Amino acid sequence: MNWNDNLTPWVIGSIVVLLLLAWVIRRIIRRGQRIRSEANPRKISIKDIDKMEDGSEFELYLFHLFQQLGYEEVHKTTSSRDFGADLVFTDRLGRRNVIQAKRYGANHPVGLSAVQEIYTSMRYYEADRSIVLTSARYTEACRTLAAVNGVKLLDREDLMDLIVLFKSRRVEEAMEIIEEDDQEPVETWQSRRKRTTR
């Protein structure tokens, strides 16, 4: 038996181990870069949000963004059993707000369940206001239900405005987008029923 025959499996095994180790190190470095980016909202764009792997990264980004906007008592809820809210914060008027974050693709609209979940979470968190913030858009039914129940909807365009205003240090304007109450008149089931029975 030749010593080269004994060496070949060791060389191949060593190469495989080194390649595997390089792959693991690369993943760790990329994850660290992504976490650092999430920790600094000034470096995040809407394209970065679209590339986020899951909703928890978006929630973490919003947590850091709201902290850096200067909101008080910003809390990220637990991943499971969050009772419908992903963030809780106190605005400049002293109102407790709950937010449900929805990181969807630009062409995937947010439906009714988001409004239902955030609205029902208000009692658990003793909140005064509820907000759904998405990287997408909303269905018409979702908009109607939100208006009837006083749930603030912030869509993709609002999110892009927040990003631009925050990065250009126009914090007051960004906070106005978040805190402004929507007062669009909405036709409820009862008013629609009365109108059609006349």
Q: What is the pLDDT of residue 8?
A: 78
The token duo for 60 is 């973490």
Q: What is the pLDDT of residue 24?
A: 81
Q: What is the pLDDT of residue 35?
A: 56
Low-confidence spans in the chain with pLDDT less than 50: none
C-alpha 101: how far from chain center: 4
Class of domain 46-179: alpha beta
Q: What is the pLDDT of residue 185?
A: 63
Length of the chain: 198
